[in-house]
Amino acid sequence: MLLEVKNLSVEYITSEGRGYAVENASFKIEEGQIVGLVGESSSGKSTLGWSIIRLLPSNARIRSGDILLKGRDIIKMSERTLNETIRGKEISVIVQDPQNALNPVFTIHTQINDILSLYRKKTRKTKLPLLELFRSADTERKKEAVSLLTKVGIADARRRIDEYP
């Protein structure tokens, strides 16, 4: 079993009281299975997704239930474990409005570079001076970022990589 959610309930705490966004949600996803989550606006779809990777807003909490990723209980994992081994490596979120996924203050290259630096660290044995090593890594990440943009159909990726979203 890839992902199993059992009786998950999530609540929001506001100045007006408690609001229950998800109540007793249960489902299983097998390896290779494709699943779509459909529902009305404000029905709890996003809350369910953010709960699965434990990135709920500060006024929300998982009230009850289990979230198992390959048998491991995500609810009981530390933030450090989630950041180092789960988020972005085994499970990720694709936001509903991808136009707001990138920050307009930074170039596309800067933002993709940040992600590649975090999640694709490569250990190398080299005798290059430190500054040259950083330049080399940045050049490689830029090439990789251009390749990623090309793969998802961004026209003229080499030019667009240095633009602002």
Q: Convert the pLDDT of each residue in 87-134 to its tens digit.
A: 888 888 776 666 677 788 888 888 888 777 766 554 344 444 444 444
Q: How many CB atoms lie within 10 A of CB 28?
A: 13
Looking at per-residue confidence, does 8 or 164 come out higher? 8
* Pair (125, 52) in one structural domain: no
| Domain end point (choices 53, 86, 119) | 86
Q: How many domains does the chain have?
A: 2
pLDDT at 58 exceeding the cut of 50: yes
48 or 104, greater pLDDT: 48
Q: For the ranges 6-10, 32-36, 62-66, 70-74, which has the lowest average pLDDT?
A: 32-36
Burial class of residue 36 (count of CB atoms within 10 Å of its CB; 0-12, 13-18, 19+): exposed
Strand order in the sheet with 3-14: 17-29, 3-14, 60-69, 72-73
84 DSSP 8-state letter = I
Do the domain assignments include residue 14? yes
Sorted by sequence, the CB contacts under 8 Å of residue 160 that are 6+ apart come out as: 108, 149, 154
Containing domain of residue 50, as a range? Answer: 3-86
Residue 125: its pLDDT value, please?
Answer: 44
pLDDT bucket at 18, cuts 50 / 70 / 90: very high
In the chain, what is the straight-line distance between the N-terminal and C-terminal CA atoms, in Å?
38
106 located within any domain: yes
Same domain? 80 vs 121: no
Asked if residue 96 belongs to a domain, the reply is: no
Instruction: Give the pLDDT mean for 62-68.
Output: 97
